[in-house]
Amino acid sequence: MKAFLALVTGEAILLFARFMTAVRGIWEGIEPVPRQRVYFANHTSNGDFVLIWTVLPSYLRRKTRPVAAADYWLSSKLKTFIGREVFNAVLIDRRPDERDHDPMERIIEAVDEGSSLIIFPEGKRNNTDEFLLPFKAGVYNLAQARPDVDLIPVWIENLNSVMPKGEVVPIPLICTVTFGAPIHVQEDEDKDAFLTRARSALIDLSETVKGAQ
């Protein structure tokens, strides 16, 4: 019964997201093939991973899990059900002094189980005037730990305008989710160099999106 309810809820979320955003998935230099990947994206809204999940073909969506904040998704029974049962999220406690797990171990475990992941290297929602916040080390640690897994930059356009911070009712607008070419950590590439390159991949992708508009 719980599995059926999760399936129905997932379809409802998918339809609602598509209705509110008319979202389009754009694959730039990469195809949506059944291959394990880590999608890393800009982060301006709580709906970011939902939009990525929505545009993935069903055969990819079934194996793709968001890495999400446990303190947010476990804060109510409804959020817990959606986070765990609908999205099968890898839930990470963002409070170092209170968590009882190593976040990176939990993420790598999910990869080793065969899951693709959706992650946000900025670590939190970007509500500043900065184009992108500095990237956290997690994406580099993951790239080093599992170098054969494709890391796919993903640029989400317009979602922060659909659901501005503090608003309850979404504003219908057209959004796009653009997937770029994969990157991998290079031999002897240090953390700072890799994070700069990963961040540049997202910036370049955003400029491609804006140039196509």
Domain boundaries, the chain: 2-212
* Angstrom distance (rounded) from CA 213 to CA 196: 26
pLDDT of residue 80: 93
- Report whether pLDDT(175) > 90: no
| 109 or 45, which is more confident | 109
Instruction: Decide if 160 contacts 45 (C-beta within 8 A).
Output: yes
Average pLDDT, integer, range 135-150: 95
pLDDT of residue 130: 86
Cβ atoms within 10 Å, residue 182: 16
Cα distances from 145 to residues 11, 109, 138, 149, in angstroms, run 34, 11, 10, 10
Instruction: Decide if 18 contacts 170 (C-beta within 8 A).
Output: no
pTM: 0.91
| Listed range (58-67, 78-87, 169-178) with the worst mean pLDDT | 169-178
pLDDT of residue 58: 93
- Report whether pLDDT(178) > 70: yes
Domain 2-212 in CATH 3.40.50.2300? The answer is no
To which residue do tokens 């790239």 refer?
143
Q: Helices 48-55 and 2-21: crossing angle, nearest 10°?
A: 100
* Angstrom distance (rounded) from CA 82 to CA 124: 20
Percent of the chain with pLDDT over 70: 91
- Report whether pLDDT(121) > 90: yes
User: In the chain, which ranges are continuous DSSP H helix?
Assistant: 2-21, 48-55, 58-61, 70-73, 77-81, 103-112, 138-145, 159-162, 191-212
**By three-state DSSP, how is residue 183 classified?**
strand
Instruction: Decide if 83 contacts 91 (C-beta within 8 A).
Output: yes
